[in-house]
Amino acid sequence: MYPLQLSAFTLTTCLGQGVQANREALRAERSGLKPCDFESVALETWIGAVDGVDAVQLPAHLSRFDCRNNRLVQMGLQADGFAEQVKRATQRYGADRVGVFLGTSTAGILQTELAYRRRDPETGALPADFDYGGSHNAFSLAAFAREYLGLEGMAMAISTACSSSAKVYAAAARQIALGTIDAAVVGGVDSLCLTTLYGFASLQLTSTQPCRPYDPSRDGLSIGEGAGFALLERAEGAAPGSVMLLGVGESSDAHHMSAPHPEGLGARMAMAAALKAAGLVAADIDYINLHGTATPANDAAEGLAVAAEFGRRVPCNSTKGATGHTLGAAGAIEAVICAMALIDGRLPGSPGTQQLDPGLDLNYAQHGSDAPLKRALSNSFGFGGSNCSMILGVQA
């Protein structure tokens, strides 16, 4: 099944639109977080908002998809010439042989929140111009991306909270292996909305400060928004230096609705499964991009799992202090950050982390540094114990 080539990739976060903007911000160890000023939200917390989303205009014939989430989808697809590279793949394989696999946690739920303010005062009916299928439905972003890109292959949306857009890589790889498609647009998009901001706050999971992953004083996450995309194709003919998907591992804690297994059992199982899928051992990994949400429970559980599987040898850190936690888009965005690290030969830093939790025995990289990297592992863990780890590498 593996390897597969990431023949194109892009990301848009609060650090900027496209690879170069994010590369420069990560190299400068700059955070894109700011005090929350989103919509009508009155919470003492920090967010990672993408500039310019509301100014995006969808094509007129796709107006039924109009919502903040799909504007962010379009903004992401336009970065780095990604949509043009998908068009060229379509010319190689045919529109019906290129699939779409996207992850999200809330899709365009903001559009429903706004529609509720305009309900009929007598009947309570939602406004006539509200299109649930085009905006709020979890499949809306995959449907929009499929039409925007002119694709006719199978399309799928995965919504498993914060593991969503990592799991799409596994889903797409299975379909390529089965021969139902020849290439796949994989990725994830999640945008800010009142539900996630108030929801995570009600669970006491948001910090009043910029998040501090793996810091002993960490007290919660900073919600972000963003988009990450990659084009997956078979590896035949991949040029040296190409970024490859080497393996994906998935597991379920079956432990708790919102809390991770305290010893990180499911997380360790996902990492072990990814290594097995790639035909690698722990010593083959050069960098781990941690899920690292900066909640006390997540970092403790993941830290124990990483220490048990990899010991202190492998440099690791979380980049959520730079981008915020982009929830269902996090897996796709952090896969691209790993791809950038492999190409650039540079570990990213961990903005926000002031010191490492002494209870976690890890080789945690607070600051970026140049390093020869051949393989990187990215962790994404979601509510309900939905875990996914993926391994990317550089073609020799």
Active site residues: 162, 291, 325
Q: In the structure encoding, which two tokens stand for residue 194, read together?
A: 């009142």
- Judge whether 329 and 196 are in contact, CB under 8 Å: no
Query: According to the 3-state scheme, what is the secondary structure of 137-194?
Result: CCCHHHHHHHHHHCCCCCEEEECCHHHHHHHHHHHHHHHHHHCCCCEEEEEEEECCCH
The residues with which 189 forms a beta bridge, in sequence order, are: 227
Decide if 277 contacts 290 (C-beta within 8 A): no
- Asked if residue 377 lies in contact with residue 271, where contact means CB atoms within 8 angstroms, the answer is yes
CA atoms of 252 and 242, how far apart (whole Å): 31
Helix (H, G, I), strand (E, B) or coil at 207: coil
Q: How far apart are CA 59 and CA 77, in angstroms?
A: 14
**Are the beta carbons of 142 and 186 closer than 8 angstroms?**
no
Q: What's 48's DSSP letter?
A: E
